[in-house]
């Protein structure tokens, strides 16, 4: 890191730490969150399957999952997964439209990126409130 700061220029491939020095535009924020949410779901895939397994295996398991998911930590993990799915879904739909050459100009791309963040965060917040029993 210090080497980068001192010399100002480093040859070769950009490293992850080099990327932290940039202030990302909204589309960039959506892009990196698309990655992070995808990786989160990838790593928690066995946990999701485990919930499905226990909930389907027996009536006892179904109610055991209910009591397991009433703990605040498990609720927080589930909320993280809900957000990840919503964000990945919305950003993915934006991706598909861009693949069809819709909304590629800077202004529209910024607006769609803001929409992705607004929709996914609002829905995640609503589901979070429901999950923690606010309404």
Tokens 């202004």 map to which residue?
A: 107
What residues from 78 to 117 belong to the interface with other proteins (CB under 8 A)? 89, 92-93, 95-96, 99
Indicate whether 16 belongs to the interface with other proteins (CB under 8 A).
yes
Only one of the segments 23-31, 54-62, 107-115, 121-129 lies at the binding site for other proteins (rule: CB under 8 A); that segment is 54-62
Alpha-carbon distances of 62 from 30, 54, 57, 81, rounded to whole Å: 36, 6, 8, 20
Residue 80's CB: how many other CB atoms inside 10 A? Answer: 16
Tokens 């924020």 map to which residue?
A: 29
Nearest to 37 by CA among 91, 101, 103, 75: 91
Residues contacting 131, CB < 8 A, separation 6+? 75, 78, 79, 82
CA–CA separation, 32 and 111 (whole Å) = 17
Indicate whether 62 belongs to the interface with other proteins (CB under 8 A).
yes
Selected from 29, 38, 115, 119, the binder of other proteins by CB under 8 A is: 38
Only one of the segments 1-9, 40-48, 107-115, 118-126 lies at the binding site for other proteins (rule: CB under 8 A); that segment is 40-48
Tell the smallest beta-carbon distance from residue 81 to other proteins (Å).
14
Selected from 7, 59, 72, 73, the binder of other proteins by CB under 8 A is: 59
Q: Which residues bind other proteins (CB under 8 A)?
A: 13, 15-16, 35, 38-39, 41-42, 45-46, 49, 52-53, 55-59, 62-63, 89, 92-93, 95-96, 99
């Amino acid at each position: 890191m210090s080497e980068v700061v001192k010399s100002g220029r480093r040859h070769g491939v950009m490293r992850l730490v080099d990327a932290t020095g940039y202030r990302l535009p909204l589309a960039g924020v959506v892009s990196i969150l698309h990655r992070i949410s995808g990786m989160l779901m990838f790593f928690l895939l066995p946990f999701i399957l485990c919930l499905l397994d226990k909930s389907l295996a027996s009536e006892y398991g179904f109610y055991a999952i209910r009591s397991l998911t009433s703990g605040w930590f498990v609720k927080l993990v589930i909320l993280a997964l809900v957000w990840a799915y919503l964000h990945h879904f919305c950003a993915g739909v934006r991706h598909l439209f861009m693949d069809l050459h819709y909304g590629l100009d800077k202004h529209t791309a910024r607006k769609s990126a803001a929409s992705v963040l607004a929709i996914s965060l609002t829905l995640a917040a609503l589901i979070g409130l429901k999950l923690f029993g606010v309404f």
